[in-house]
């Protein structure tokens, strides 16, 4: 069993294959956090907590004679409110009497088999290979009757622990939640730790930043209504000495697609507290008696093997325990071509069929009709919300268009932006009240579009019905689900003024409900998420959709950084990556090598390619298929850091049995008469011999990992190399 309660020490220890996590029902029934790190068996780790009289750190009433007991200096599993702990809190609740206080004491705990379920939010799940066990600890504030249940599931094989929180109002009057964090993790000393996060912007998502912990609160979050381009709901706390291959790393990945917040506070005594959950900004949630509020799941991992070790834990877990789509495990993803950069909104059925015909020669399996096929949509000022075919453009009708693509032995995909509406649309004219707009004010426009109030049932049902009816009308194999603005003017016409603080979160709950209904009605469709590129690339979305568009920036050199940053937590098989016209002087082969660090496809007008270019593309599409099992199922290694000065960027995939590997290298910088450079492989069997690209060249794993492969330097700019290694014998 992965969870052990020791009734003598009152410790509860969560065990994965290589890690332990310990808490204790401590002094006065406070729930203390004792340990997270390499396995420690069931040792009682409470000896670490030293008791001092800390000036200006108050003592709870019951301990008034023991001045050494202060919550300000105790590591906790869920930090209290107004009980003498001046660090950041897990909860801020306004009780029915108007007081701001939560004083949670343990009232019970339960250990069960299986993974906990969340009723309103997406969560990871157990599989046959990796079953989970669950701990639920309840804390009660005996005065306000607010109960908090802390949920933990342990995936032993995967080395993963997940956490979530539930708040229940057991009182007789309404309370208001102003902050509720899903995770609180206290380190007794965190002064030697760094924080790594993935900030970015439109076109440059998930760049990597590392900072030392200093004595203030480091916050990462989004208030854009989505997890956003600007930040990602993922962070690493690591030792100062941690590197790609070495060192202690803790990962925290929040399964939520809306406003989120992570606060890492290094306090006056070098204690480090991390909290993570829904962003409290403009968040006030009313809980009537007996009502329950669920906070989203945090997926935690720990390794001593640096960033690579941590990424591998997330990649493996997210490849198997996050999304139930058949495209995750059973069905190979198609090579697709998307119409956006080929035609933008200027297309008709004939043009699409011609693109498909040309793409057929490039080894493409699927044509995606992007934005512009519906309502009145010749530019981005109109049409959103009218999810019916524009027959001026698709003159033969959707059904016949899909038939024509199918006759080429290709599949068909379609684009939607369901959460948005244009003012110039029939939907807006019929239902202006469905839009988020604060009464008496003009709503902020962004791409000249407005956001639908996804918290409303009628809006959700309209979207479910109208999208399902398009998907039922023709043989649709793929859907791209886009959102192209940040939210503002948060307001729902269905809620009274005093409950508008619930709208940000209710929007996300509504979105999850719509996606869930649609994927369950159409389990055979491959869905790809998108938000003006990778603006909502998070585990919440990846629970529903197995892949996500990394960025609108298709420049292969920029993509090296985009893929590098994204790979810290998300596996290659989730990364939407295409070859486009962007990067005029970059060879097609190099664009393909970069797009093979993802789902691989095209984003260009295939009719503009000559026969020779089409042939190159066909070869690359076939290579992607050949290497699919390595790229999608293997272990991924970052061999260089594109954010550091260097002449090459390289990465590697290795099959789990280490019999095959693919090393990809892009030369990003040429120097005249430069030194010979070598790329050192990772993850191979040292004693095995590997054949390089099916030639007579054979090297041992040890040679490839310690000395490396020489990379030719006298080559044209932006040349790329792929080294396919196959194991010959031990």
Regarding 532 and contact with ligand DGJ (CB under 6 A), the answer is: yes
- Catalytic member of 482, 538, 605, 635: 482
Supply the minimum distance, in Å, between the C-beta of residue 233 and ligand DGJ: 20
Give kind and range of the element (H or E) at residue 317.
Answer: helix 306-320
When asked if residue 601 is in the footprint of ligand DGJ (CB under 6 A), the reply is no
Decide: is 156 part of the binding site for ligand DGJ (CB under 6 A): no
* Nearer of residues 92 and 370 to ligand DGJ, judged by Cβ: 370
Select the span of 72-80, 530-538, 617-625, 711-719 touching ligand DGJ (CB under 6 A): 530-538
Closer Cβ to ligand DGJ, 420 or 569, answer by number: 420
Q: Which residue is nearest to ligand DGJ (CB)?
A: 371
Let me know if 119 is a catalytic residue. Answer: no
Say if strands 420-421 and 175-187 run parallel, antiparallel, or are unpaired: unpaired
> In this chain, which stretch among 197-205, 292-300, 526-534, 677-685 interacts with ligand DGJ, using CB under 6 A?
526-534
Tokens, residue 22:
């310990």
Q: Extract the runs of DSSP E, i.e. beta strands, from 76-159.
A: 91-94, 105-113, 132-141, 146-155
Instruction: Report the number of secondary-structure helices (H) and strands (E) in the chain.
Output: 13, 38
How far is C-alpha 429 from the chain's CA centre? 36
Cβ atoms of residues 662 and 650 within 8 Å: no
Span near ligand DGJ by CB under 6 A; candidates 15-23, 275-283, 527-535, 679-687? 527-535
Positions 537 through 556 that interact with ligand DGJ (CB under 6 A): 549, 552
Residues 396-415 that bind ligand DGJ (CB under 6 A): 415
Count of CB atoms situated within 10 Å of the CB of 622: 12
Unique residue bearing structure tokens 């959102």: 483
How far apart CA 304 and CA 307 sit, in angstroms, is 9
CB atoms within 10 A of CB 715: 12
Report DSSP letters for 230-297, one per residue: T--SEEEEEETT--SSSB-EEEEEE--SS-EEEEEEE-TTS-EEEEEEE--TT--EEE-TT-EEEEEE
| CB-nearer residue toward ligand DGJ: 176 or 229 | 229
> CB under 6 A: which stretch of 178-186, 231-239, 525-533, 678-686 binds ligand DGJ?
525-533
SS3 state at 104: coil
Question: Restricting to residues 415-444, which ones interact with ligand DGJ according to CB under 6 A?
Answer: 415
CB of 15 to ligand DGJ, least distance (A): 43
Contacts with ligand DGJ, 162-191, as mask; x by CB under 6 A:
------------------------------
What are residue 159's phi and psi, to 5 degrees? 60, 40
Q: What is the DSSP letter of 422?
A: -
Token pair, residue 291, equals: 């009502």
Q: Which residues in the 628-657 window bind ligand DGJ by CB under 6 A?
A: none
Among 36, 187, 340, 373, binds ligand DGJ (CB under 6 A): 340
For residue 261, what are its two tokens?
A: 């917040």
Closest residue by Cα to residue 568 from 197, 158, 228: 197
Least Å distance, CB 377 to ligand DGJ, is 9
663 makes contact with ligand DGJ (CB under 6 A): no
- Smallest separation (angstroms) from ligand DGJ to the CB of 397: 22
Query: Does 194 interact with ligand DGJ (rule: CB under 6 A)?
Result: no
370 binds ligand DGJ (CB under 6 A): yes
- Choosing from 85, 371, 552, 635, the catalytic residue is 552
Closest to ligand DGJ by CB, 37 vs 203, is: 203
Q: Is 552 a catalytic residue?
A: yes
- Closest separation between CB of residue 210 and ligand DGJ, Å? 28
Of 135, 118, 126, which is closest to residue 294 (Cα–Cα)?
118
Q: Binding ligand DGJ by CB under 6 A: which of 349, 371, 386, 502?
A: 371
What is the x/- site pattern for ligand DGJ, positions 464-483, by CB under 6 A?
------------------x-
Task: Choose, by CB under 6 A, the member of 16, 404, 425, 484 that binds ligand DGJ.
Answer: 484
Buried b (16+ CB within 10 A) or exposed e, 114-149: ebbebeebbbbbbbeebebbbbbbbbbbeebbbbbb
- Phi and psi at 499, nearest 5°, equal -110, 15
Residues that bind ligand DGJ (CB under 6 A): 340, 370-371, 415, 482, 484, 530, 532-533, 549, 552
Cite the active site residues: 482, 552
């Amino acid at each position: 069993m992965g969870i052990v309660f020791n009734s003598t020490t009152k410790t509860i220890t969560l065990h994965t294959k290589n890690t332990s996590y310990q808490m204790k029902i401590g002094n006065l029934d406070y729930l203390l956090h004792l340990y997270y790190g390499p396995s420690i068996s069931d040792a009682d780790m409470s000896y670490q907590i030293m008791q001092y009289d800390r000036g200006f750190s108050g003592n709870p009433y019951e301990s008034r004679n023991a001045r050494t007991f202060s919550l300000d200096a105790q590591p906790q599993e869920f930090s209290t409110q107004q009980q003498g702990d001046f660090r950041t809190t897990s909860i801020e609740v306004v009780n029915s009497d108007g007081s701001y206080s939560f004083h949670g004491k343990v009232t019970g705990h339960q250990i069960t088999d299986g993974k906990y379920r969340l009723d309103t939010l997406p969560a990871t799940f157990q599989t046959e290979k990796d079953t989970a066990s669950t701990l639920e600890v309840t804390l009660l504030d005996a005065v306000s009757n607010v109960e908090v249940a802390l949920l933990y599931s342990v995936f032993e094989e995967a080395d993963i622990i997940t956490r979530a929180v539930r708040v229940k109002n057991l009182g007789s009057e309404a309370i208001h939640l102003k902050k509720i964090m899903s995770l609180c993790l206290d380190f007794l000393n965190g002064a030697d730790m760094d924080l790594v996060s993935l900030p970015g912007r439109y076109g440059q998502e998930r760049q990597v930043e590392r900072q030392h912990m200093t004595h203030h609160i480091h916050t990462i979050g989004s208030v854009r209504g989505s997890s956003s381009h600007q930040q990602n709901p993922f962070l690493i706390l690591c030792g100062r000495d941690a590197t790609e291959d070495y060192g202690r790393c803790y990962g925290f990945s929040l399964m939520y697609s809306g406003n989120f917040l992570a606060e890492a506070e290094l306090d006056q005594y070098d204690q480090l507290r991390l909290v993570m959950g829904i962003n409290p900004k403009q968040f006030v949630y009313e809980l009537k008696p007996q009502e329950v509020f669920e906070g989203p799941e945090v997926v935690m991992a720990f390794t001593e093997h640096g960033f690579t070790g941590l990424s591998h834990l997330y990649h493996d877990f997210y490849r198997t325990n996050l999304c139930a789509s058949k495209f995750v495990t059973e069905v190979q993803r198609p090579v697709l071509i998307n119409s956006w950069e080929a035609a933008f909104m200027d297309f008709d059925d004939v043009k699409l069929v011609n693109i498909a015909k040309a793409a057929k020669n490039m080894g493409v399996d699927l044509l995606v009709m992007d934005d512009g096929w519906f309502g009145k949509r010749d530019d981005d000022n109109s049409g959103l919300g009218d999810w019916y075919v524009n027959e001026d453009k698709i003159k033969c009708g959707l059904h016949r268009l899909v038939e024509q693509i199918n006759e080429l032995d290709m599949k068909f995909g379609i684009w939607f932006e369901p959460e948005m509406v244009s003012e110039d649309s029939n939907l807006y004219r019929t239902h202006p009240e469905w839009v988020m707009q604060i009464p008496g004010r003009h709503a902020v426009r962004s791409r000249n579009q407005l956001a639908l109030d996804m918290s409303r049932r009628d809006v959700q049902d309209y979207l479910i019905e109208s999208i399902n009816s398009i998907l039922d009308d023709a043989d649709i194999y793929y859907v791209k689900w886009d959102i192209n603005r940040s939210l503002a003017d948060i307001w729902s016409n269905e809620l009274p003024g005093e409950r508008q603080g619930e709208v940000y979160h209710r929007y996300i709950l509504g979105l999850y409900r719509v996606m869930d209904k649609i994927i369950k009605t159409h389990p055979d469709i491959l869905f790809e998420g998108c938000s003006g590129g990778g603006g909502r690339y998070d585990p919440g979305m990846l629970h529903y959709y197995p892949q996500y568009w990394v960025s609108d920036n298709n420049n292969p050199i920029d993509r090296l950084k985009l893929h590098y940053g994204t790979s810290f937590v998300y596996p290659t098989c989730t990364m939407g990556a295409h070859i486009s016209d962007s990067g005029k002087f970059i060879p097609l082969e190099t664009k393909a090598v970069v797009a093979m660090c993802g789902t691989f496809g095209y984003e260009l007008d295939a009719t503009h390619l000559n026969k020779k270019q089409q042939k190159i593309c066909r070869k690359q599409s076939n290579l992607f298929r050949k290497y699919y099992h390595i790229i999608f199922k293997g272990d991924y290694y970052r061999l260089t850091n594109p954010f550091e000065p260097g002449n090459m960027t390289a990465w590697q995939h290795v099959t789990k049995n280490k019999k095959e590997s693919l090393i990809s290298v892009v030369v990003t910088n040429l120097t005249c008469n430069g030194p010979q450079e070598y790329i050192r492989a990772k993850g191979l069997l040292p004693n095995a011999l590997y054949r390089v690209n099916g030639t007579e060249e054979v090297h041992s794993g040890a040679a490839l990992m310690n000395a490396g492969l020489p990379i030719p330097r006298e080559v044209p700019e932006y040349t790329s190399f792929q080294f396919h290694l196959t194991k010959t014998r031990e």
